[in-house]
Amino acid sequence: MRVYTLDNPVFATYVIAAALMVLKLMGQGWMTVYRMMKSNSGLASPEDAQKGLLNAAPDPSQLEVNDYVDRSRRMHRNDLENIPGFWVAGLLFVAVNPAVWLAQVLMYGFVAARAAHFVAYATKQSHEVRATFYTIGSLIVIYMALHVLWVVLF
Amino acid sequence: MRVYTLDNPVFATYVIAAALMVLKLMGQGWMTVYRMMKSNSGLASPEDAQKGLLNAAPDPSQLEVNDYVDRSRRMHRNDLENIPGFWVAGLLFVAVNPAVWLAQVLMYGFVAARAAHFVAYATKQSHEVRATFYTIGSLIVIYMALHVLWVVLF
Amino acid sequence: MRVYTLDNPVFATYVIAAALMVLKLMGQGWMTVYRMMKSNSGLASPEDAQKGLLNAAPDPSQLEVNDYVDRSRRMHRNDLENIPGFWVAGLLFVAVNPAVWLAQVLMYGFVAARAAHFVAYATKQSHEVRATFYTIGSLIVIYMALHVLWVVLF
């Protein structure tokens, strides 16, 4: 059976979830850009504190770490630690032909968990709230990888 | 010939190696969590130094960088610099229909090199030991990408 | 129609662009290694400041952040924030069977934008120049993800 085709509802589910996570990940970069421009600080490289279109009044203090901007970078790093693992585990999961409902619960569940993690991190919720959504997303990825290994090896 | 199907032993090899690296990458996040909880330090965000289920005795010093926790974050970063490249190079390598033995040597070789890198980094082996395993993994990924370009372009 | 086969010119385009970005990403790691060895500084872990084959004259100052080495690490981080999103958005884009010319413009455009970003960052061009190439690459990835969602959902 061909699995990597849009006729397969499991693959279609994967394509939707994976594309949404592409938008989430790329959007986080733009949130950092927005926060750098709004706060006029948290710049990454020495040459960024020069006069230019993006920086009308340069100042060396613009290169210092600023929690408003750095929070977006930490969110980005957390995404990088979780989303690529989902992309690959999901792609492999499609290969082993799981039930459609299971793929939908896991893949849309991951998208929902990461959306909730985003809100919790951006609004500075307690470590417990953020950790809960991180855990849900991480366990979904780990489950998919274990399921794949089980089917292929046994 | 269909290549992205579990009947193809090269793809089956890829699925096993890629799923193992998903577990390695996600596990590194949990190693950081374990080390944060065990040392009660190395927390990432200001709001984490608040009283809560995960933090019975909060203290501002919990936000300072701690090598025990930061080592796990550096290992995670090194994984992020190498494993996604492997996932993609391996997936492309399947498309060009290589010999099964070659795929097995390269893909399981990458898994073994990263496992050895993990042990070397966690147990603070010398830079030379860690660099050796990093180099093996990196060269495997680079070889697969060059092999793919060679087949497709020539 | 089978899409994930080298007979499909859209997939062949993806394979070439994705393999080039594997080489770019892995090469950035080696640029960091080269800069660490040339400047004999910017080392990542305490144990790296020990005498050994890679470090004939160790000194604690070798562990301090050094812009020459850190610039390569920031370039690497920027790659990690953009290239994996391209790999996945491009793979999904192949599934929806776009026009060959569109795939070529977007995928080779991404490769060109990231090559230009590399040169701009390495040679310390102004923030505006670097931001322009970052923006082109990021918008290409976002466009591909939106295009995929449009085709699959509507």
Domain ranges of chain A: 9-153
Please state, in angstroms and rounded to a whole number, the distance separating the CA atoms of residues C40 and C58: 9
pLDDT value of residue B1: 61
CB contacts, 8 Å: A6 with chain C: 95-96, 152
Which pLDDT band, with edges at 50, 70 and 90, does C1 fall under? low
Please state, in angstroms and rounded to a whole number, the distance separating the CA atoms of residues B105 and B111: 10
* Token couple for B134: 């990093």
Min Cα distance C145 → chain A (Å) is 5
What ipTM did this prediction achieve? 0.95
Residue A54 near residue A37, CB atoms below 8 Å: yes
Residues 6+ apart with CB under 8 A from A88: B18, B21, B22, B84, B87
Tell me which residue in A92, A138, A146 faces B18 most closely, judged by beta carbons. A92
Which residue spans within B23-85 are E strands per DSSP?
A: none
* Token couple for A141: 């990825």
pLDDT value of residue A56: 86
Below-50 pLDDT ranges, chain B: none
CB contacts, 8 Å: B29 with chain A: 81-82, 134, 138
pLDDT value of residue C56: 86
Min Cα distance B16 → chain A (Å) is 6
Please state, in angstroms and rounded to a whole number, the distance separating the CA atoms of residues C72 and A24: 26
pLDDT value of residue B60: 87
Tell me which residue in A6, A26, A43 faces C141 most closely, judged by beta carbons. A26
Residue C143 near residue C106, CB atoms below 8 Å: yes
pLDDT value of residue A57: 87
* C90 shares contact with chain A (CB less than 8 Å): no
* B115 shares contact with chain C (CB less than 8 Å): no
* C4 shares contact with chain A (CB less than 8 Å): yes
Tell me which residue in C4, C125, C144 faces A4 most closely, judged by beta carbons. C4
CB contacts, 8 Å: B87 with chain A: 84, 88
Please state, in angstroms and rounded to a whole number, the distance separating the CA atoms of residues C39 and A91: 42
Q: What average pLDDT does this structure show over C146-153?
A: 98
Using CB atoms, list chains with 3+ pairs below 8 Å to chain B.
Answer: A, C
- A-chain residue closest to C143, CA distance: A23
CB contacts, 8 Å: C148 with chain A: 15, 19
Residues 6+ apart with CB under 8 A from B122: B71, B75
Residue C143 has pLDDT above 90, yes or no: yes
Q: Do C19 and B121 touch (CB under 8 A)?
A: no
- Kindly report the backbone phi and psi dihedral angles of residue B99, in degrees, each rounded to the nearest multiple of 5, phi listed first: -60, 145
Residue C49 has pLDDT above 70, yes or no: yes
* C125 shares contact with chain A (CB less than 8 Å): yes
- C-chain residue closest to B86, CA distance: C22
Please state, in angstroms and rounded to a whole number, the distance separating the CA atoms of residues C147 and C151: 6
pLDDT tens for residues A101-122?
Answer: 999 999 999 999 999 999 999 9
Question: Rounded to the nearest 10 degrees, how much is the dihedral formed by the CA atoms of C24, C9, B14, B154?
Answer: -70
Tell me which residue in A74, A81, A148 faces B19 most closely, judged by beta carbons. A148
User: Angle, to 10 degrees, between the axis of helix C127-153 and the axis of helix C67-95?
Assistant: 20
Q: Do B92 and C19 touch (CB under 8 A)?
A: yes
Q: Report the CATH number of the B9-153 domain.
A: 1.20.120.550
Residue C19 near residue B92, CB atoms below 8 Å: yes
Measured CA to CA in angstroms, residue C102 lies from C7, C82, C136 at distances of: 17, 20, 15
* C4 shares contact with chain B (CB less than 8 Å): yes
